[in-house]
């Protein structure tokens, strides 16, 4: 999907969110990420893990190039790109160059996940991305199945069919999985009363958007946090 189509799609669902989105920032990041993905995509299928892929790109000078590209796009300086990458991986975004490093790493992870998605889908009631290891908080219903989608690399895996399963503890008991939503059941906040985990879910299958946007659109579920707190009180009293 082109950058403009992606921004248009996001705009279409922005009203669900209840908070403003910086479309200009989304456009900038998406365009540089698509650029980087275009450069590394042809190599992405050759490695057994994302780590190996990143290491190989680094040895070919392509990681440094990707970070530099992201840096010039967002107008930020990078000192030692390896330090920036390290900071990005530990989430220390105060370090110089860590933001462009994060943008570059995400683009590389997305290219890797795209390749991984061509293989047999992974079925696993887990919240941890099998590709990059990030913890997903986003569930999507598709074709009657429940999938988790990674907010970082956009890899998607199946957690259950017919009924949602808690991706954090594997709880299948419908009576202890809370679904807090509006009447239309488009986007919901889900809660497992067994392990205490909560996550967001897009239940309306007519919501169609590129994978990179789904975790953002699912943020709309945050508006049910207040209701969840009320239920929790009643549940515990």
Binding site for Zn ion (CB under 5 A): 129, 131-132, 134, 150, 152-153, 155, 166, 168-169, 171, 192, 194-195, 197
Q: How far is the CB of 183 from Zn ion (least distance, A)?
A: 26
Angle at which helices 81-90 and 98-116 cross, to 10°: 70
- Nearest residue (CB) to Zn ion, 13 versus 155: 155
Strands (E), the chain: 138-142, 145-149, 156-161, 177-180, 187-192, 198-202
Residue length of the chain: 237
| Element at 215 (helix H, strand E) | helix 214-218
Question: Could you tell me which residues come within 8 angstroms of residue 79 by beta carbon, excluding any fewer than 6 positions away?
Answer: 96, 97
- Nearest residue (CB) to Zn ion, 6 versus 166: 166
Q: How far is the CB of 150 from Zn ion (least distance, A)?
A: 3
- Nearest residue (CB) to Zn ion, 1 versus 122: 122
- Three-state SS for 69-95 is HHHHHHCCCCCCHHHHHHHHHHCCCCC
- Nearest residue (CB) to Zn ion, 84 versus 171: 171
Q: How far is the CB of 227 from Zn ion (least distance, A)?
A: 19
Q: How far is the CB of 80 from Zn ion (least distance, A)?
A: 26
């Amino acid at each position: 999907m082109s950058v403009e189509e992606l921004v248009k799609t996001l705009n279409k669902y922005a009203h669900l969110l209840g908070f403003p989105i910086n479309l200009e920032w989304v456009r900038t990041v998406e365009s540089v990420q698509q650029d980087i993905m275009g450069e590394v995509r042809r190599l992405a299928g050759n490695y057994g893990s994302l780590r190996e892929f990143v290491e190989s790109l680094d040895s070919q000078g392509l990681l440094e190039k990707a970070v530099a590209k992201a840096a010039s796009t967002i107008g930020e300086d990078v000192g030692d790109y390896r330090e920036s990458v390290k900071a990005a991986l530990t989430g220390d975004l105060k370090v110089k160059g860590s933001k462009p490093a994060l943008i570059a790493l995400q683009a590389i992870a997305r290219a890797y996940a795209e390749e991984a998605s061509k293989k047999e889908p992974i079925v696993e009631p887990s919240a941890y991305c099998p590709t990059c290891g990030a913890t997903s908080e986003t569930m999507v219903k598709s074709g009657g199945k429940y999938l988790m989608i990674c907010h970082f690399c956009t890899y998607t895996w199946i957690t259950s069919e017919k009924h949602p399963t808690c991706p954090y503890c594997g709880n299948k008991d419908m009576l202890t999985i809370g679904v807090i939503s509006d009447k239309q059941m488009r986007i919901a906040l889900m809660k497992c009363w067994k392990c205490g985990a909560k996550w967001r879910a897009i239940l309306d299958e007519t919501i169609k958007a590129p994978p990179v946007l789904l975790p953002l659109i699912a943020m709309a579920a945050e508006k049910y946090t207040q209701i969840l707190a009320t239920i929790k009180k009643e549940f515990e009293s």
